[in-house]
Amino acid sequence: MLSRSLSLKEATAINMIDMVGIGPFIAIPFIIGAMNGPVCIIAWLLGTLLAFADGCVWAELGAKWPEAGGSYRFLKKLYGEKTYGKYFSFLFLWQTTIQAPLVIASGAIGFSQYFSYLIPLASWQQKAVSGALVILVTILLYRKISDVGKISMFLWAGVLIMFAWLIFGGLTHFNSSQAFDFSINIFLEGKRASWFSTIFFVALGQASIRTIYCYLGYYNVCHLGGEIKNPEKNIPRSIFISIAFITIIYLLMQVSVLGVIPWQEAKDSKFIISTFFERIYGHSAAIIATGLILWICLASLFSVMLGYSRIPYAAAVDGNYFKIFARLHPTKNFPNASLLILAGVAFVFSLLFKLKEVIIAIIVMRILIQFVSQAVGLIIYRYKNSEFKVQSSKFKVAAHSEEAQNLKLQTPNSKPVFPFRMFLFPLPALVAIAIWLFVFFSSGMNYILGALGIILSGTVLFFIFSGMKKTAEMKKEY
């Protein structure tokens, strides 16, 4: 059984180092280029809005069901463990089998690309560096969860140092007219966009895919729900604290970069943050800053692999995945088999794929199966289990004492049906659904078809797996 050893401080740190990986350092040029200027700040604000809105969904679900597995567990509960929940949770598991190693590979590939600022690397050398990073992070994670929590705090300290230096440098060398030039410079097929025109929204969609990629990870604590102390309070708190803190960092970082480097130059930079420090403090400072960026990337991979390793474990414990994933380390009490298999697939992926393709695929394949399904499921579940219905049921049962013995209704001394409730329900969930669908349809037909293909293949596998399971159960009976 997993140990509840992570405090609010450690849970928040794990969330934040997951969110702040190599993503913002490689995505800023893409974001500026998509919007052609400082107006790209709107894409960051859209990412913030989505993170807070979707964070409300995760906070409710994490507080309600604080167990290992995150979305795997939530989808089963929301849609019925014996009915549609089996299907949705299996789809998520299938998607995660592909997507989780891609997330890890994207961080490792980004690390190797940024490492090239320190030492120019050939293509094969970059792949060697990315593969070695996956191995290093696996070694760091191969220990009990209390030690992992301490390491996460140590890694987070380096993240804070880096961003404090970056923001200080930007604000003390700031050109406001350059940073806040919000004129529209977006062109598509020779046509110039106006505010909120079709061209504007096309560009915003492309930029937002990258900003949302940078925010991913605010929910990582939910994957570790079975290892969080006082989860009903600490899971929601860690989610909102991490989103608020990272939002401030990202907005100040983007404005600082544009206040130092003209957007026309920034959009084509391969090492935008290293160039930023070199412009202000010189080459030696840029070398140190690049080292800190690589530290942040390592920290993020540490958090990502930690969270994802718990998903196959949770499914295997339920008997819905290969038994090997349910194994715990005999003395350190963590899912070591799940961690090692995940790391092995991520190692292979880090040698095969390109970063740009991976980033878009990571987001698009998850939107329908995970994010939209969760938000829709929560809305349905909340209305089915509203306080009005609970109170109505209590009133009816009061007249039939025999029924009262058979029904488990909420009492004043029991835990509430929903330990955490989002403000203005269901508005945040609806906002999250709308933005996720906007991003999904802005990604491009190839990625949309790829996401639908994963759903289709997962559906086929689900029926095959279900048939095999029924056959095995029938053989046992006879």
At 354, is the secondary structure helix, strand, or coil? coil
Nearest partner of 18 among 155, 164, 166, 143, judged by Cα: 155
Is 371 part of any domain?
yes
Q: How many domains does the chain have?
A: 1
Contact predicate 413/55, CB 8 Å: no
Is 405 part of any domain?
no
* pLDDT at residue number 307: 87
User: What is the number of helices (H) and of strands (E) in the chain?
Assistant: 22, 2
The C-alpha atoms of residue 148 and residue 309 are separated, in whole angstroms, by 13
The residue to which tokens 């994963």 are assigned: 454
The C-alpha atoms of residue 138 and residue 132 are separated, in whole angstroms, by 10
* pLDDT at residue number 402: 46
Helix, strand, coil percentages (3-state) for the chain, rounded to 5, are 75, 0, 20
Lowest mean pLDDT among 78-87, 173-182, 336-345, 398-407: 398-407
Question: Is residue 398 over pLDDT 50?
Answer: no
> How would residue 356 be classed by pLDDT, with cut points 50, 70 and 90?
low
Is 409 part of any domain?
no
Is 414 part of any domain?
no
Question: Is residue 406 over pLDDT 90?
Answer: no
> How would residue 140 be classed by pLDDT, with cut points 50, 70 and 90?
very high
Q: What is the DSSP letter of 325?
A: G
Please, what is the average pLDDT of the chain?
86
Phi, psi of 228, rounded to the nearest 5 degrees: -100, 130
As a whole-number percent, the residues of the chain with pLDDT over 90 amount to 47
Is 402 part of any domain?
no
Q: Is the peptide bond before 426 cis (omega within 30 degrees of 0)?
A: yes
Beta bridge partners of 187: 192
At 65, is the secondary structure helix, strand, or coil? coil
Encoded amino acid at 311, one letter: I
Contact predicate 28/383, CB 8 Å: no
- Reported as type and span, the H/E element at residue 118 is none
Beta bridge partners of 188: 191
The C-alpha atoms of residue 154 and residue 200 are separated, in whole angstroms, by 42
Question: Is residue 412 over pLDDT 50?
Answer: no
Domain that holds residue 457: 8-397+419-477
- Of the spans 84-98, 234-248, 361-375, 445-459, which averages the highest pLDDT? 234-248
From first CA to last CA, the distance across the chain in angstroms is: 33
Is 117 part of any domain?
yes
The C-alpha atoms of residue 220 and residue 302 are separated, in whole angstroms, by 12
Beta bridge partners of 228: 6
Nearest partner of 14 among 141, 153, 107, judged by Cα: 153
Q: What is the mean pLDDT of residues 98-117?
A: 88
Is 44 part of any domain?
yes
Q: What is the mean pLDDT of residues 293-306?
A: 89
Which CATH number covers residue 342?
1.20.1740.10
What digits encode the pLDDT tens for the residues 145-161? 888 888 888 888 888 89
Question: Is residue 391 over pLDDT 80?
Answer: no
Is 110 part of any domain?
yes
